Amino acid sequence: MKMKRAILGAAAALSAGTLCISAAIYRFGVSKNLYVIPRLRSLFPDNSPERQQDLSVRPAFEAGRDWFRAQPYVQERIISFDGLPLYASYLAYAGSKKTVILCHGWRGYGLGDFGGIIRWLYDEMHLNILLIDERSHGRSGGKHITYGIKERFDIASWARHYANMHPNYKIYLYGVSMGAASVLMSPSADLPKNVCGLIADCGFTSPDDIFRHVAKEMMHLPPFPFVDMAELYARIFARFDFSECSARRTLSHCTLPVIFFHGTLDNFVPTYMSKLNYAAAKGEKQLVLIDGAYHALSCYIDFEKYTNALKAFIERH
């Protein structure tokens, strides 16, 4: 009897521990609230090469951020397909009939991901800029981050909203990290004909792939049972399925031209994911790898190579 009780107690403790760890993964990955990792990280020094590279580009990022904040941009607002208020900042370039919709990454913000290139897009490419706040970020509503599953519909809504206001304007969708994956999945959400190109910087192959990669590499946890339970929580509480859409699957049916950027040292969204997305793309495509760049830092590390490729892509389409 004692042995039986001990086994049952150990099983109960193991089950409870699995549920708690899975809940923590879910909160870390999906919930807008109770995100404590940055606070915990701030207690420990980070001298990694990635952190050092990020610090080295801070002046360029801050210059772009401060420049945009000083411009006469206006606030835009739409309602998502599921009733959430979505917000964006719009900066018009006088006389331009080309607009880029900028889509930031997971737990990021627009100027955080595009601070290094936003002024170039405006001054050199003469693009109107629509800098959106993804759902559950910034001013936009929502309690859950869905890795592009619902964000793709939001991006399509912004594109339709803008196309309705300016039916003769061309639209480019440009995303970084989760924003890139959302852009790559957005053709499955009924884009307007005004969209003439997709720009994806360090985007992942699918929500399920990246969720499992981050759990394994950052938390050192196996997919079963922890990630599987966390994804079950997402289906129950956030009402989305990590496997219901993917960038690779969408690209295999999409004829829009796409340009992919990725840093060769990216270990958050590994470089091979852009290579797989590139291989899957059905339409005109280009893959630009930036040697020595970590996650979402490609435009800073080789600005000339990055912008030359991007300029040629935009001018071509």
Tens-level pLDDT at each residue, the chain (317 residues): 655 565 545 444 445 667 888 888 888 889 887 555 555 555 556 789 999 999 999 999 999 999 999 999 999 999 999 999 999 999 999 999 999 999 999 999 999 999 999 999 999 999 999 999 999 999 999 999 999 999 999 999 999 999 999 999 999 999 999 999 999 999 999 999 999 999 999 999 999 999 999 888 887 888 888 889 999 999 999 999 999 999 999 999 999 999 999 999 999 999 999 999 999 999 999 999 999 999 999 999 999 999 999 999 999 99
Query: φ and ψ at 21, to 5 degrees?
Result: -65, -40
Task: Show me where the domains of the chain are located.
Answer: 46-206+245-316
Residue entry with tokens 């759902």? 135
Torsion of CA 265, 268, 274, 276, to 10 degrees: 110
Q: Which helix (H) or strand (E) holds 171?
A: strand 170-176
Contact between 128 and 311 (Cβ < 8 Å): no
Write b or e for each residue in 164-175: b if 16 or more Cβ atoms lie within 10 A of its Cβ, otherwise e: eeeeeebbbbbb
Residue entry with tokens 């890139």? 180
Torsion of CA 125, 129, 134, 139, to 10 degrees: 150
Tokens matching residue 299: 């435009």
Tokens matching residue 12: 């109960």
Strands (E), 205-310: 258-263, 285-290
One-letter amino acid of 188? S
Query: Quick one: which of 269, 265, 257 has its CA closest to 184?
Result: 257
d(CA 312, CA 62): 26
> Phi/psi zone of residue 210: left (φ > 0), alpha (ψ -120 to 50 degrees), beta?
alpha
How far lies 267's CA from each of 63, 135, 144, 262, 296, in Å? 26, 25, 24, 11, 11
Query: Quick one: which of 242, 236, 241, 233 has its CA closest to 22?
Result: 233
Contact between 105 and 176 (Cβ < 8 Å): yes
CATH code of the domain made up of 46-206+245-316: 3.40.50.1820
How far lies 107's CA from each of 28, 35, 36, 87, 137, in Å? 10, 9, 12, 16, 7
pLDDT at 2: 57
Tokens matching residue 127: 């693009």
pLDDT at 4: 54
| Helical packing angle, 207-219 and 178-185, nearest 10° | 160
At 196 the three-state DSSP class reads strand
pLDDT at 44: 57
Contact between 173 and 198 (Cβ < 8 Å): yes
Contact between 243 and 208 (Cβ < 8 Å): yes
